[in-house]
Structure 1
Amino acid sequence: NHDEDVSYVAWFESGDRSASINLDTNAVSLDLVDLADSLDLTIDAAFPVTWWVEAVSAEDTVACEQPFSFSIIPNSIIDSDGETPVEFGLHSIYPSPFNSMTTIKFGMDKPGIAVIKLFDLTGREVKTLLNRHHSSGRHQVTLNAADLPSGIYMLKLQSAGRTSIAKTALIR
């Protein structure tokens, strides 16, 4: 059986960078942060990725007929000017209402883990936008809601036992 002598390699390319993963099975799960690191990309902005699979044997290497592509559009996190705000909380959501993307500005009056979650009006958690340590100061996160239906949503910022809640509307 010649199938046992064939291995498969998935290739990923973005710009002039490429990375490969040896496939052990016919299914693969990717960690996008690891993939971005392999491609030496930052994931604070959208980036396109082209990918294809090659079958490799002792005699030949054959690539799939046509490469595939996808784009990563993250919920980006940007630390701003570093000034300490007057108070902790969600400060602005712009634009609101919004179509598919909006920017949420928030303040941390002391360093700590900041968690921002998005909820629908039934109270169901829809997305976690942020869950990491932040310095004191002004910060912002971009919400990409391209995969969500129109509606009213609640944003909840939590840090060090404190909570700030704000409302926004997604209109298609």
Structure 2
Amino acid sequence: MITEQVIERLTYDTKTLFDFYDKMNLFKTKKQKSEDISGLLENAMADLIEGAVAPKIDSEPDIRLHGEPVEIKTTSGECWFSGTYSKREGYFIFLSWQLNKDNTPTFFICGKDLKKDAWKPSTSDSYYATTYDKKRLYKNRRDWTFYKGYLEAYDRGKQQCIKLHTGELEQEFLWETSPPE
């Protein structure tokens, strides 16, 4: 679903957009940048993937691929958030991004069909968002397709830590360590 051509286009478009922001002296929050990257991924998929359409309407999925819903969740961190539309079942693309000093982005991208109960509900009365964090992703990693980047588990004392890596997928990192309990 996410091809190398889509990733190359996303990389180019992201750098171009963020260079423009810098040139125009426009400050954007990480949340705004995540929304922009999500929109750029929608555009790249709609342009380069046969059968992909980006409706650009909040009540619709980010992409319809041969009529099936595809949601894109983007973060600059290691936890993906969703609200009302995470209740929709279907294919989800999780993207995490980092920017180098020259605005060249690197990405971690994976995808999977998710059911409503895959998301962790909020425990706060004032915060409604559901979450899917890197530990949950690592625990279920065999069910995900990794398009760019990989996960690494390592121990820090008695605690198991999970690191998201952008860049090329290295299969041995996916399976060498047991998932967190």
Structure ID, larger Rg: 1
Q: Greater strand percent: which structure?
A: 1
Q: TM-score range by the shorter chain?
A: under 0.3
TM norm structure 1: 0.24
Q: Greater helix percent: which structure?
A: 2
